[in-house]
Amino acid sequence: MKRYDPTTIEPKWQKKWAESKLYEVDQDSSKQKIYATPMLPYPSGTGLHTGHVRNYSITDTVARFYRQKGYNTLTTMGWDAFGLPAENYAIKTGTPPDVSTDKNIAYFKKQLSRLGMSYDWSREFNTSQPSYYKWTQWVFALMYRRGLAYKAEKQQWWCEKCNTVLADEQVVAGRCWRHDSPDDPLINKRPLSQWFFKITDYAEDILRDTDQLDWPQKIKTMQKNWIGRSEGTEVVFKIADSDQELKVFTTRADTLFGATFMVIAPESPLLDQIVTDEQRAEVQKYVQQAALKSEVERQASKQKTGVFSGSYAINPVNQQKLPIWVADYVLGGYGTGAIMAVPGHDQRDWEFAKEYQLPILQVVEPVEDQHTKELFTGYGRAINSGKYDGLSSEQFKKQITEDLAAQGLASSKVNYKIRDWLISRQRYWGAPVPIIHCPEHGAVLVPEDQLPVELPKVENYIPDGKNSSVLAGIKDWVETSCPECGQPARRETDVMDGYVCSTWYLQRYTDPNNQKQAFDPQKADYWYPIDFYFGGDHAVAHLLYIRFFQRVLADAGLSKHTEPVKRLIYNGYINAEDGTKMSKSKGNTVDPMQIIESGYGADALRVFELFIAPYDQDTSWNQNGVPGAYRFLNRVWVLTQEFLGSAEQSSDQQNIEVDKVAHRMIATVTNDLERLSFNTAISTMMSAVNKLYLIKAEQQFTGQKSWRYALESLAQCLAPFAPHISEELWQDLGHQDSVHVDHWPSYQQKYLTDQTIKLAVQVNGKLRGEIEVQAEASEEQIQTAALELNNVQQHLKDQQPKKIIYIKNRLVNIVV
């Protein structure tokens, strides 16, 4: 009998699949399509570890399942090669980024190929190739032409370690996403002129459609909070003895009568005009101190600080004079950068008022309880608010906004927390922003026929921290001529962040070799929306950017779809055996190649990765897991080989017990795969194999027709999880076609139904016994069985039941 040896069969099948282009697909209108793909990996220097393999195994299992079911299935792989991680790695190791990237990609590809992933490798690309980033530059041009790319000076997050700016989405709890451990510094903002994509134009549309997505709720909630829609009122406060005014944004216009002071952010451009000469020195000192603090620190700090500006504002509802303070708990970048402070009803204002002994006034009382505390942040009924007393908070907000609006002093306003997406980086390793600065014409887009603007080779790619890329030092690259007038001009020296490369790669997979377009819209429309997008990372950055970009495409007439991803499948993490996070630096990762090459093979590793826990839960690695999966696969192997060695296989004898095992297994595995319950699908197959061994021990392989169906179906059900062993067994069972494209096995209902259920039996609501009936038994059969119980008959004592209540799958209650 042939022995199960993954080390020989796995590479053999990988080679055959590649040669026969088994997983390469084209558009095919005769079939339903499935586009299932994992998030684009960044090819790090350390390769994939067994934690990463989970995501790829899940993707491949789903793709294979639908392929077997007859769907035209696209699953793909490419490389997120540009950007900070690759460049930081190159700097650390002293290897130029193009060299290290190629090397890393080669190893990733070797690992994924050896794992037997069914990608259409003919669609592979890496985002640092000129043939790819030419179109990343086209994406920039598209944004620019549509008024969605602009350069502006704003306060920007700056990482001292990366020497570049960061997008808001790349800030992790106050630190740089590449430097986010507790000993890394908190980051600060610098005023810098940068390129932005105007995602805020789409904030409302993206927000509105978020609830309709078949995505995990936690990701949808994070996106909604990130967009941060807030409805409120902008109110104008005149500044006393001046013709200046101070606008504030408030969500609680109903507390206007409770304002006892005003606060302006230290970075507000208005501050300079408001501050009086006596207070100027003190204010300046405070502003300098505030600039040293990070925004996160400013918001977290319980200890409120501030200084008086010397000026007063007039409350438009009652003409009261309110002192204007400068305090860093108010942020320059939100709303109007100034607030009316209502210490009776806002926590932060209350803390500030306590610190500086400012008056606290109640203007809202709770509807039910008495107002006992100084601070009440809820809604209720207006008090101390003149003619508005007694109004509910909601009515009051509406009324006061109307009344003030009539005098030109207020307007309804919707604010968003989300900011435009900062896409330029003062780095080397990225797609150059395709802009030329002309003294006469300003910023001019590089014409499309001159793309790509190639990234020149440089000797030194280490950023110097002087607010510009090293590209600024490459004279003959920077100096060019203006596309409009031909006069000497300079290239933009910033490059685009890696996240721009990955906003459009999912489209590129649908048409990867197009040299005339980023992609053919007709091809992308065929494959879109993505049916399954698999990942365990990114909640707001990448997953918001692709939604934004999709809408831009739709508006530009380049797509029929407004959402890119139908289902987002977010997998849990695999931690190290001790429960800590897997990371190369801690030395607690396992290279999948090591497991595969030690003889267990890719199939056993894949099966274990899916068996270990429900896919969306975090779990810990377990050394004994792969050997266990290997033993299961070996049992499948041995049983099939024994069957093949047994006599007269052509017989058409049936074995009803074997049939039941087979059909039930198919039914359960099919259902489990449809609901992505991989671990239960595997345990179903394990228990089916156990039952088959028991039947074989008693009856040998009698009923060979049934045995053949059972073992073929087992190979087919196993194929999405363990593609190599199932292919080998499928061929051994006499098939020519690959198990992966042949068909998904079907089951017959009649074999599924003799399952039994247990029902409690009551007489007049008291438990008197239990019956076991066929799951599909009729209500009449159930009543009869219940009445036949000895104990029930004793309690009935010849009385006729008045009625019999049956609660499905639970109980029968006989009422007398």
Binding positions for ligand ANZ, rule: CB under 6 A: 230, 249-252, 255, 265, 330-331, 334-335, 337, 339-340, 342, 345-346, 415
In angstroms, give the least distance from the CB of 239 to ligand ANZ: 18
**Cβ-contact 784, 778 below 8 angstroms:** no
- Cα 514–chain centre separation: 28
CB of 119 or CB of 257, closer to ligand ANZ: 257
Considering CB distances under 5 to 8 angstroms, the limit depending on partner class, which of ligand ANZ, Zn ion, none binds residue 178?
Zn ion
Instruction: Report how far apart the first and last C-alpha atoms of the chain are (Å, whole number).
Output: 67
In angstroms, give the least distance from the CB of 455 to Zn ion: 21
Instruction: Read off the amino acid at residue 411.
Output: S
Considering CB distances under 5 to 8 angstroms, the limit depending on partner class, which of Zn ion, ligand ANZ, none binds residue 179?
Zn ion
In angstroms, give the least distance from the CB of 259 to ligand ANZ: 7
Considering CB distances under 5 to 8 angstroms, the limit depending on partner class, which of Zn ion, ligand ANZ, none binds residue 337?
ligand ANZ
Considering CB distances under 5 to 8 angstroms, the limit depending on partner class, which of Zn ion, ligand ANZ, none binds residue 528?
none
Residues 461-500 that bind Zn ion (CB under 5 A): none
Considering CB distances under 5 to 8 angstroms, the limit depending on partner class, which of ligand ANZ, Zn ion, none binds residue 161?
Zn ion
561: exposed, middle or buried (Cβ count in 10 Å: 0-12, 13-18, 19+): middle
Considering CB distances under 5 to 8 angstroms, the limit depending on partner class, which of ligand ANZ, Zn ion, none binds residue 342?
ligand ANZ
CB of 326 or CB of 607, closer to ligand ANZ: 326
Considering CB distances under 5 to 8 angstroms, the limit depending on partner class, which of ligand ANZ, Zn ion, none binds residue 88?
none
CB of 367 or CB of 805, closer to ligand ANZ: 367
Considering CB distances under 5 to 8 angstroms, the limit depending on partner class, which of Zn ion, ligand ANZ, none binds residue 159?
Zn ion
Distance CA 119, CA 124 (A): 9
Contact pick of 49, 52, 178, 381 for Zn ion (by CB under 5 A): 178
Give SS3 for 338.
Answer: strand
CB of 252 or CB of 663, closer to ligand ANZ: 252
In angstroms, give the least distance from the CB of 810 to Zn ion: 59
Task: State the number of binding residues for Zn ion (CB under 5 A).
Answer: 6
Distance CA 800, CA 816 (A): 7
CB of 85 or CB of 344, closer to ligand ANZ: 344
Is residue 266 reached through a cis peptide bond, with omega within 30 degrees of 0 on the bond before it?
Answer: no
Tell me the window of 124-132, 171-179, 316-324, 483-491 that interacts with Zn ion (CB under 5 A).
171-179
Distance CA 543, CA 530 (A): 13
CB of 179 or CB of 696, closer to Zn ion: 179
Contact pick of 179, 247, 398, 437 for Zn ion (by CB under 5 A): 179
CB of 87 or CB of 657, closer to Zn ion: 87
Phi-psi region of 137 (alpha: psi -120 to 50; beta: other; left: phi over 0): alpha
Per-residue three-class SS string for 733-760 = CCCCCCCCCCCCCCCCHHHCCCCEEEEE
In angstroms, give the least distance from the CB of 721 to Zn ion: 40
**Cβ-contact 528, 567 below 8 angstroms:** no
Copy the structure tokens of residue 219.
């990701």
CB of 84 or CB of 673, closer to Zn ion: 84
CB of 88 or CB of 687, closer to Zn ion: 88
Q: Is 187 in the site for Zn ion (CB under 5 A)?
A: no
Considering CB distances under 5 to 8 angstroms, the limit depending on partner class, which of ligand ANZ, Zn ion, none binds residue 176?
Zn ion
Copy the structure tokens of residue 263.
């606060």
**Cβ-contact 573, 618 below 8 angstroms:** yes
Per-residue three-class SS string for 168-196 = HHHEECCEECCECCCCCCCCEEEEEEEEE
Q: How far is CA 297 from CA 186, 304, 333, 334, in A?
A: 9, 11, 15, 16
Copy the structure tokens of residue 180.
């986010």
Considering CB distances under 5 to 8 angstroms, the limit depending on partner class, which of Zn ion, ligand ANZ, none binds residue 615?
none
The number of residues making up the chain comes to 816
Tell me the window of 63-71, 168-176, 392-400, 434-442 that interacts with Zn ion (CB under 5 A).
168-176
Q: Is 636 in the site for Zn ion (CB under 5 A)?
A: no
Is residue 529 reached through a cis peptide bond, with omega within 30 degrees of 0 on the bond before it?
Answer: yes
CB of 170 or CB of 260, closer to ligand ANZ: 260
Considering CB distances under 5 to 8 angstroms, the limit depending on partner class, which of ligand ANZ, Zn ion, none binds residue 708?
none
**Cβ-contact 776, 753 below 8 angstroms:** yes
Considering CB distances under 5 to 8 angstroms, the limit depending on partner class, which of Zn ion, ligand ANZ, none binds residue 634?
none
Q: Is 162 in the site for Zn ion (CB under 5 A)?
A: yes
Closest CA to 214 of 532, 598, 541: 532
In angstroms, give the least distance from the CB of 290 to ligand ANZ: 13
One symbol per residue from 142 to 161: x for binding Zn ion (CB under 5 A), - otherwise; what is it?
Answer: -----------------x-x
In angstroms, give the least distance from the CB of 538 to ligand ANZ: 24
Distance CA 712, CA 730 (A): 7
Q: How far is CA 515 from CA 10, 283, 500, 545, in A?
A: 36, 59, 20, 24
In angstroms, give the least distance from the CB of 338 to ligand ANZ: 7
* DSSP conformation class of 441: T
Contact pick of 90, 105, 176, 445 for Zn ion (by CB under 5 A): 176
**Cβ-contact 519, 558 below 8 angstroms:** no
Distance CA 609, CA 679 (A): 9
Considering CB distances under 5 to 8 angstroms, the limit depending on partner class, which of ligand ANZ, Zn ion, none binds residue 346?
ligand ANZ
CA atoms in the 13 A half-sphere facing the CB of 549: 24
CB of 304 or CB of 542, closer to Zn ion: 542
**Strand (E) positions, 68-219?**
72-74, 149-159, 164-166, 171-172, 175-176, 188-197
- Alpha-carbon dihedral of residues 257, 261, 262, 266, nearest 10 degrees? -160
Distance CA 452, CA 449 (A): 8
Considering CB distances under 5 to 8 angstroms, the limit depending on partner class, which of ligand ANZ, Zn ion, none binds residue 230?
ligand ANZ
In angstroms, give the least distance from the CB of 151 to ligand ANZ: 24
Distance CA 811, CA 804 (A): 10
In angstroms, give the least distance from the CB of 267 to Zn ion: 23
Considering CB distances under 5 to 8 angstroms, the limit depending on partner class, which of ligand ANZ, Zn ion, none binds residue 330?
ligand ANZ
Considering CB distances under 5 to 8 angstroms, the limit depending on partner class, which of ligand ANZ, Zn ion, none binds residue 67?
none
DSSP codes, 676-723: T-HHHHHHHHHHHHHHHHHHHHHHTT-SHHHHHHHHHHHHHHHTTTSH
In angstroms, give the least distance from the CB of 486 to ligand ANZ: 47
Give SS3 for 763.
Answer: strand
CB of 249 or CB of 608, closer to ligand ANZ: 249
Distance CA 516, CA 667 (A): 47
Give SS3 for 156.
Answer: strand
- Cα 489–chain centre separation: 42
In angstroms, give the least distance from the CB of 261 to ligand ANZ: 11
CB of 165 or CB of 710, closer to Zn ion: 165
In angstroms, give the least distance from the CB of 178 to Zn ion: 4
Considering CB distances under 5 to 8 angstroms, the limit depending on partner class, which of ligand ANZ, Zn ion, none binds residue 425?
none
In angstroms, give the least distance from the CB of 498 to Zn ion: 13
CB of 159 or CB of 669, closer to Zn ion: 159
CB of 167 or CB of 607, closer to Zn ion: 167
Q: Is 371 in the site for Zn ion (CB under 5 A)?
A: no
Residues of this chain that bind Zn ion (CB under 5 A):
159, 161-162, 176, 178-179
